[in-house]
Structures are given as C-alpha cells and as structure tokens.
Amino acid sequence: MKQNISILTVLSEHERAWFFSGVNRARLSQYSPMEEWIYPPDNQADWEALMIARNPRVIVGAWSLPKLDRGILEACPELEYICYVNGSLRHKADIHFWERGGVASNWGSLVSHCVAECALTLVLGSLRRVPKFCHIMHVERAYRPNGKDLSPQGLFGKKVGIHGFGNVAKQFMRLVEPFGVDVEVWSNPVPDAVFTKHQVKKAASLADLFANNDVIVEVEALTPESEGSVSRQVIANMRPGTVFVNVGRGAMVDEEALAERVALGEILVGLDVYQEEPLPESSLLRGQQNALLLPHTAGPTSDVYPDCGTAALDNLEAWMRGEALPQVHTREHVLHST
C-alpha cells in the first residue's frame, strides 16, 4: 500500500452527501481526512492557486471539479492520478495529463443500466404521446377533446433499431425482450464476429437502420468518424411516425434536420442529449408536442449515487495498492467522449 500520498478531495456539499455518506465517507476519510476535503473554488484563479499550493499526487472529484488545464498540470508535476466519481473527464482535464503518463478512473459501465432504462422511458413515453397529453391536460386544461389525433401506440411487436453496440445497447436489449420486439443493430466499428457471437441481427447500413424500423435508439460512441453520422439524409430516411430516441451524444445528430421533421409533425423524438447544452431556449425542439425532452439526466439515477462513490473508492484503493484500476479512464476514452 502506498504511504503518505497527498490526496486532494474536491467535492461540493451535494456531492459529499450524494456519493460519500455513511460507509463511503468513512472509507474516503482513511485516505483524505474530512477536515481536508475542499469545496470547489469559485474561480479558475483560486483553483490554480490551490493546486499549486497543494501539488497533490491524487485528486478525488466529481461533477463540480474545476478544470485541470495545461497550465495547472504543468505547475503540478506531482499529480499522477485523477479518481473521478462520474463519467467523462474530457472537459475536466487537458489531454496533456494522459500524455505525460497520468492515470484516471471513472464509473465505467456502472450506470449503463440507468441510461438504458431512460432510453426505454423515452421510447414508451413517445409512443404513448406523453408530451401531447401533458399539453392537453396541463396547458389546454382539457381531457380528451374531440377532433384531436390522440393515437397512442405500444411497443409490443415493434421493429427496433439500435445505433451502437456498447454496454448501454446491450442493457437496452435486455429491457425490451419482454415486448417481443424485432431488434437490429448498426455500429460501423464493431466486427461482424461480435454480432454473430451475441446473436444480434446487423442492419445492412446506418441508412437502412433508420429507414426500416419503427423505433431508433441512438447510443453509438462519439468518435471523429461517427460525429454527425446521423445526417440530414439519414434523418430524411425515417418513415413518418418513427420514434427517435437519443441517450448517447448530441453531436452524433444533425439536430437542425431532426428539429425540422419534428416541427412538421412527421416523427416523434425522445431526447436526453443535445448538440449544445443546456438546450437553447430558442431551439425549435422546445414546445413541440411530439418531442419528449430531458435535461441530460439519463444516468445515474439518485439511488445509484452511493454505488458511484463505492466504485470511486474501489478504484482509489486499487491504485493505492499498485493494482490495475477496475474502471480505468484512458486517453482514448477521453477523446471519444463528450
């Protein structure tokens, strides 16, 4: 076990309660006493001064962690390991950290089931026309007005296309099994042998996936090759009435083209991620009765927060013992995330 390691724990008040209450708090305090836990500084200058003064070897942080830009990293040569409680570090640490040999961990695949559950929620809510019914009952103060096309649908027996074949896609496939859906998947980087191994039907192309299914779920990994792959033409391929759900990455999709089809009433969408976040008030997606929108809350759900803290501590203790990290977050992971 490594001894006398300088650990800087940077957590907001909410993050301390969410991720490090009870047993987790006691475990973390073995390595970083509670009186040394730091609240995130208000500005980048104070953050830089704190980092230079402490020059830690380890940082434990969550969503509120200020950015570790190149200047801070160069001023803190001792920093070896970032134990991040949450997901991507892309906007938290300059890539220089990994290029100089730094190591990081995050929650890995821990919250995949939460994201898959959210995808199912958006699919069912879209098919059941939840946004439209909410508008009728809350805004119009009506119930089932005559002359309105209510037309809720169900998921049973539908054709479902999934763009992507990572952990979230596999969890989602398990969730929809009871609905007797016909599933096909497209993910350009995934070899055919992987689809064969998992006994999954592979679509002929991305265009065919969008053209031939009643429901499309977007969970593909964001890479330079996949960015913008759900193009205007691919979106135009969707048949009227198709449900498109995105719990992956907003940058995968031509959002303007998607919003135009939504505004015309041609398709239904359930979205948790967007090209620009927060979603601008002026977005054409806002106010549409066939758009079910969430503010990037697919995962984790609050009941899983303690598990995230536990996973972070498992990673920290593995690093302290000189062992491989259970959920290592590599340079490649960072480059391919948002």
- Both 267 and 176 in a single domain? yes
pLDDT at 60: 98
pLDDT at 338: 61
What CATH number should be reported for the domain holding residue 241? 3.40.50.720
- For residue 196, being part of any structural domain is answered with yes
pLDDT > 90: percent of the chain:
93
- For residue 90, being part of any structural domain is answered with yes
The neighbour count for residue 239, using CB atoms within 10 Å, is 12
- Both 75 and 116 in a single domain? no
- Helix (H/G/I), strand (E/B), else coil: 308: helix
pLDDT at 125: 98
The neighbour count for residue 264, using CB atoms within 10 Å, is 10
The boundaries of the domain holding residue 268 are: 112-293
- Both 26 and 171 in a single domain? no
Q: What count of Cα atoms within 13 Å lies in the side-chain half-sphere of residue 203?
A: 24
- Both 125 and 92 in a single domain? no
Say if CB 254 and CB 231 are below 8 A apart. yes
- For residue 235, being part of any structural domain is answered with yes
Q: Which residue has the tokens 């809720």?
A: 152
Residue-averaged pLDDT of the chain: 96
Q: What count of Cα atoms within 13 Å lies in the side-chain half-sphere of residue 157?
A: 2
- For residue 2, being part of any structural domain is answered with no
- Both 42 and 56 in a single domain? yes
- Both 141 and 256 in a single domain? yes
Whole-angstrom distance, CA of residue 192 vs CA of residue 170: 16
Q: What count of Cα atoms within 13 Å lies in the side-chain half-sphere of residue 105?
A: 27
- Both 237 and 135 in a single domain? yes
Q: pLDDT class for 3, splitting at 50, 70, 90?
A: confident
- For residue 1, being part of any structural domain is answered with no
- For residue 122, being part of any structural domain is answered with yes
- Both 134 and 282 in a single domain? yes
**The total number of structural domains that make up the chain:** 2
pTM over 0.75: yes
pLDDT > 70: percent of the chain:
99
pLDDT tens, 294-321? 999 999 999 999 999 999 999 999 999 9
User: Which residue type, as a one-letter code, is found at position 313?
Assistant: L
- Both 63 and 22 in a single domain? yes
User: Which H or E run includes 67?
Assistant: none
- Both 120 and 186 in a single domain? yes
Q: pLDDT class for 149, splitting at 50, 70, 90?
A: confident
What's the whole-number mean pLDDT along residues 119-126? Answer: 98
- Both 186 and 315 in a single domain? no
pLDDT at 1 over 80: no
- Both 96 and 36 in a single domain? yes
What's the whole-number mean pLDDT along residues 52-67? Answer: 97
